[in-house]
Amino acid sequence: MRVLVVTAVPAERDAVVRGVVSATETETAPEAEVSVPGGRTLHRVVRPPLTVDALAAGVGPAAAAAATATALTAAELGQAPYELVVSAGIGGGFAPAPLGSVVVGEAIVAADLGAETPDGFAAVTELGFGTVEHLPPPALVRAVAEATGAVRGAVLTVSTVTGSAERAAELRRRHPGAAAEAMEGFGVAEAAAAPGVPVLELRAISNAVGPRDRAAWRIGEALDALAGAFRHLPPALATWKEPSR
C-alpha cells in the first residue's frame, strides 16, 4: 500500500519518517530520497506492506495543494499510484485537545473560505458554489484513533493562524466539533479529491487556539507526539482497505 504523507516543513516530515522507521521490528527500514517535479524531494520509507512517501510541501493550503497534486500526478504517470494521502503536522488545539495530544480529522474543513457579509462570515457553499469540507473514510478514522490514541474531531484549515480569544470563539461557534486548527489539510484534501484518493489528517497539538503566545508553543513536544503517532499508524493502515467504490 503506497501512502503519501504531506507536511508543511522538513521538521514535521522528519518526525513522520522517524515514526514509521521506528515502527519496523528491526528499527531499520530502507529509505530513499526521490525527486518529484517542481524541485522537491520526498523521503521514502519501505515498511512492508506499506511504502510511505513523506513530502514537505510548504506552509499554507495553496503550497500544500500544489505539492500534493504534483506528487499524485507523478505517481499516477509512473504507474505507482498512492492509495491514501495524509496531511500531517503540528496544529493548534481546541479544548479538549491538550498540548502534545494527537487529533485525527473526522472532517477536513476550510474555515475561512468565503465572504464577510453584514450578517457575518458566509462560507462559499452558502454563496452557492465550491466545497468547504472533505470527509476521511470513517472506518479509517476509527482505526487510526484506536491505534494512536488520537482525539477525533474536525480539523479546521485557515490561512491565518488564530490570534485572539474572540476569533477562537467564533470558529468554535461555527464548528462545534472542531478539535484542531492548521493551515494545509484542506489544500491536501482538495488535491486528493481530484483523482479520488482517500485523505486523512493527523495533527499533533503544539499550542492552544486563541490569544497569540509564542512562548507557550510546544513545537518540540508536538513533533515527538507526531513521530509517536506514525510509530503506531502502520498496522492500522495495513489492515484498512478502502471500500470498493
Ligand X SMILES: O=C(O)c1cccc(C(=O)CC[C@H]2O[C@@H](n3cnc4c(=O)[nH]cnc43)[C@H](O)[C@@H]2O)c1
Indicate whether 214 belongs to the interface with ligand X (CB under 6 A).
yes
Q: Which of 83, 174, 217, 231 binds ligand X (CB under 6 A)?
A: 217
Nearest to 70 by CA among 56, 88, 60, 89: 56
In angstroms, the CA 125 to CA 72 distance is 26
Grid cell in block for residue 193: 479529491
Q: Which residues pair with 110 in a beta bridge?
A: 157
Backbone angles phi, psi at 94, to 5 degrees: -95, 145
Helices (H) and strands (E) in the chain, counts: 6, 12
Cβ–Cβ < 8 Å for 193, 209: no
Number of residues that bind ligand X (CB under 6 A): 19
Cβ–Cβ < 8 Å for 202, 86: yes
Indicate whether 190 belongs to the interface with ligand X (CB under 6 A).
no
The vertex-13 CA angle with 8 and 53, nearest 5°, equals 110
Q: Which of 145, 191, 206, 234 binds ligand X (CB under 6 A)?
A: 206
Q: Which of 23, 71, 90, 145 binds ligand X (CB under 6 A)?
A: 90
Contacting residues for 168 by C-beta, under 8 A, at least 6 apart = 94, 162, 209, 210
Indicate whether 223 belongs to the interface with ligand X (CB under 6 A).
no
Nearest to 83 by CA among 200, 203, 209: 200
Q: Which of 19, 61, 92, 234 binds ligand X (CB under 6 A)?
A: 92
Q: Which of 183, 200, 226, 233 binds ligand X (CB under 6 A)?
A: 183
User: By C-beta, is 61 or 234 nearer to ligand X?
Assistant: 61
| Shortest distance (Å) from residue 229 CB to ligand X | 15
Q: Which of 207, 232, 233, 240 binds ligand X (CB under 6 A)?
A: 207
Task: Tell me which residues in 96-155 interact with ligand X (CB under 6 A).
Answer: none
Q: Which of 53, 106, 181, 201 binds ligand X (CB under 6 A)?
A: 181
Closest-by-Cβ residue to ligand X is 92
List of residues contacting ligand X (CB under 6 A): 8, 59, 89-92, 158, 161-162, 181-184, 206-207, 209, 212, 214, 217
